[in-house]
Amino acid sequence: MLLIYCPYCEVERPETEFHNGGEAHIARPADPSKTSDEEWAEFLYMRSNVKGIAVERWRHIHGCGRFFNVVRDTVSDKILKVYKVDDPMPDLEALAKEAGR
């Protein structure tokens, strides 16, 4: 069971307090009517599903209720970084290097 740090509550809590929200940084197109069928399908269904460094959304459902983003190594389950929902995506390569991957 993961231990996850909530950047809003500023506490580390067990996974059961949280809900995984899938891959992060998949923004809904600002004007969906302008997207092609392929672009829309890409947005709806295509996810990277990486073996390694993944960026995912978590919601502190039994806490503050906020969504935030987590960089997690899906092989070791190590959490490399946690950041607020409106923060930019960190440099994943640097994080991976730091974690020794």
Partner 1 sequence: MSQPFRTEKGGRIDRGQQLTFTFDGEEMQGHKGDTLASALLANGVHLVGRSFKYHRPRGIVTAGSEEPNALVGVYRKGDQTPNLRATQVEVYQGLEAISQNRFPSLGFDVGAVNDLLSPLFPAGFYYKTFMWPKAFWDRVYEPVIRAAAGLGKPPKNPDHDTYGNIYAHCDVLVAGSGPAGLAAAVAAAETGAKVILCDEQAEFGGSLLSDENATIDGKPPAEWVRDTIVKLQGMDNVTLLSRTTAFGYFAHNYIALAERVTEHVSDPDPKLPRERLWQVRAKEVVIASGAIERPMVFPENDRPGILLADAGRTYLNRYGVKVGNKVLIATACDTAWQAAFDLADHGVDVVAIADLRETPPENLVAIAQARGIRVEAGCVVTGTLGRKRVKAALLGRLMTSGQVASAGQVACDAILMSGGWTPTVSLYSQSRGKVVWDETVGAYVPGKSVQHERSAGAAKGLYGLQATLEDGYAAGEAAAKAAIGKEAKVTYAAASGGEAGQGAVLGALPHDRNASRVKAFVDYQNDVTAKDIKLAAREGMQSIEHIKRYTTTGMATDQGRLSNMNALSIASGALEKPIVDVGLTTFRLPYTPTTFGLFAGVARGDHFDPVRKTPSHDWVVANGGVYEDVGQWKRTWYFPKSGEDMHAAVARECATVRESVGLFDASTLGKIEVVGPDAAEFLERMYTNPWKKLAPGRCRYGLMLNDAGFIVDDGVIGRLADDRFHVTTTTGGAPSVFATMEDYLQTEWPDLDVWITSTTEQYAVAAVQGPKAREVIAPFIEGIDLSADPFPHMSVKEGTFCGVPCRLFRISFTGELGFEINVPRRHGKMTWETLAGEIEKHNGTAYGTETMHVLRAEKGYIIVGQDTDGTVTPQDAGMSWAIGKKKHDFVGKRGLERPDLVAENRKQFVGLLTKDPKVKLEEGAQITVAQNPATGTPAEGHVTSSYYSPAMGRTIALAIVKNGHALHGKSLYVPMPDGSIEVEVTSPIFFDKEGARLNV
* Residue (74 or 93) nearer to partner 1, CB: 74
| Cα(56)–Cα(70) distance, integer angstroms | 5
- Give the number of other Cβ atoms within 10 Å of residue 44's Cβ: 10
Is 32 or 52 the residue whose CB approaches partner 1 more closely? 32
Query: Under the criterion CB under 8 A, does residue 86 sit at the interface with partner 1?
Result: yes
CB of 45 to partner 1, least distance (A): 8
Using the rule CB under 8 A, is 13 a contact of partner 1? no
Under 8 Å between Cβ of 62 and 54: no
Residue 4 amino acid letter? I
Mapping DSSP onto H, E and C, the string for 48-81 reads CCCCCEEEEEEECCCCCCCEEEEEEECCCCCEEE
Candidates 46, 47, 52, 76: give the one binding partner 1 (CB under 8 A).
76
**For binding to partner 1 (CB under 8 A), which residues are involved?**
1-3, 14, 19, 21, 27-29, 31-33, 35, 37, 40-41, 43-44, 57, 59, 61, 65-67, 75-77, 85-86
